[in-house]
Amino acid sequence: MSWFKRLFAPTPPVRPVLSAPARQPLAQGSAPGGQAGRTAAPPPASPKIRQGHTFDALTDPRRRRVSINFNSTQPVQNRRDLYGRAEKLEALFDAVVLREQHALIYGARGSGKTSLVRVFADYADQQGLVIIYTACEPQQSFAQLLKPYLQTIPRSCITEGRDVLFRDALRNLSDNLTPRNAVDFLEEFTTRRLIFIFDEFDRILGREVRLEFASFLKLLADALLPVQAVLVGIGGNLADLITDHPSLRRHLTAIPIGRISASAVQEMIDVGAEQAGLPFDAASKELIASLACGSPYHVRLFCAQAGLQTLRRGRDTVTSTDALAGILAATEDWALMSDEDAAIFRYLAEKNAALHHALAHVARSAAMLDAVSMPHIVRELPGGQAEQAIQAFGPALQRRDDGQYVFRDSGAPQFFLALLLTHTPSRADTPDNVIPLSETTRLGHVV
């Protein structure tokens, strides 16, 4: 039986309500054991007026420090705050800046793609490159996608003496701008190296637009223009770009972002905790790291919530109980925005105890590797459980064209693992549903 089970099996903790630390002074004259002496005055009646200190926790300055240092809503802005990404940063820099290739960065929601490209942009900027970044919108045509980039090219990039012509050409850009027009435009007016970053590229759903985009990248490379594109998005469907346009392959470096290492997670928690002035004990760190599965977003989210729960309870160290309460609070927040998946997950966590181990295995594989490979999990799980578990997730888990399974919300499997913790079966012989951090490498991947 894992320590998680021993710790949490008896009573699933509920989300605590906002309350002040228990500050009950001993009644005057009372004995240390709580027994009032014979001469003790009767305990004072409970006060009729509300005590101001009830909301002390709200104004604790550490609350803000916890929220800032474990902010999970903003991408990392500077390299000092980017943990565990040295290799990916180098791969991106090598591909785009040194080898002048286009790059494709893909991975789950919250794995840190935007953070990585922001820090990369900072480096590239220092090398004198001009970076233009936007996030794509669904339903955009190729022209709508590209025009803002052309319109944002700074004057310092324009061939000398061609400013006026450039501005005229910009004004006359057609709404039917084609990949060829765009490349001609860049060839005619720009001199300096440009890097266009297309974040959330997966939101471009139209296959037609993706194909046009692929030919734009190919034409840029063929024209030997010093303009590179970095495409950023979730999931393998970005690979369609290459499948549909095989000749693009040699001009494009694919960078699966994966997860950050266990030591990077530890460092992230330790530094955040120190800056927030709120230590996390070893068990709380292990619980958070184990459930976050190397996803920086989940690490920060769970740490922030764990920290806030601790302060609400008037304590000075985050314990595993606070961490679990925080993780569950975060899971409830996620469930409010994802009711269909949350209903499936809750159902599976409440019923199906015999399948919990297999379900957790599928969720953990997806959380760590983005996609679940049926042949792999069939080898790892006993008789028929792999198929049953995949089926049990219903529409929350979808089959991709390449035969692998992905959660339709790529950030969801961590929340399923959290929900499972609250429904740990009591039978001692059922397999553990949480794999301690030290063992997570058994899925064949260093977390």
Calpha distance 341→203 (Å, rounded):
20
**Backbone phi and psi for residue 174, each to the nearest 5 degrees, phi listed first:** -80, 150
112 binds, among ligand ADP, Mg ion, none (CB under 5 to 8 A by kind): ligand ADP
Which of residues 179, 233, 236, 296 is near ligand ADP by CB under 6 A? 296
Q: Which residue has tokens 């994966």?
A: 258
Based on CB atoms, which residue is closest to Mg ion, 230 or 435?
Answer: 230
Query: Contacts with ligand ADP in 63-82 (CB under 6 A)?
Result: 71-76, 81-82
Based on CB atoms, which residue is closest to Mg ion, 100 or 200?
Answer: 200
Calpha distance 10→133 (Å, rounded):
51
* Min separation Cβ 121 and ligand ADP, Å: 12
Amino acid at 4: F
Show the binding pattern over residues 96-135: x = contacts Mg ion (CB under 5 A), - = does not: ------------------x---------------------
Helix 142-152 to helix 179-189 angle (10° resolution) is 10
Based on CB atoms, which residue is closest to Mg ion, 104 or 358?
Answer: 104
Which of residues 166, 297, 302, 415 is near ligand ADP by CB under 6 A? 297
* Min separation Cβ 78 and ligand ADP, Å: 11
Long-range CB pairs of 353-356 (<8 Å, 24+ gap) are 353/423, 353/425, 353/427, 353/430, 354/430, 355/385, 355/388, 355/389, 355/392, 356/420, 356/423, 356/425, 356/430, 356/431, 356/433
Q: How many CB atoms lie within 10 A of CB 211?
A: 16
Query: Contacts with ligand ADP in 233-292 (CB under 6 A)?
Result: 260, 268
437's tokens: 């951090």
* Min separation Cβ 307 and ligand ADP, Å: 15
182 binds, among Mg ion, ligand ADP, none (CB under 5 to 8 A by kind): none
Query: Contacts with ligand ADP in 385-414 (CB under 6 A)?
Result: none
Calpha distance 96→106 (Å, rounded):
16
* Min separation Cβ 247 and Mg ion, Å: 29
Binding interface with Mg ion (CB under 5 A):
114
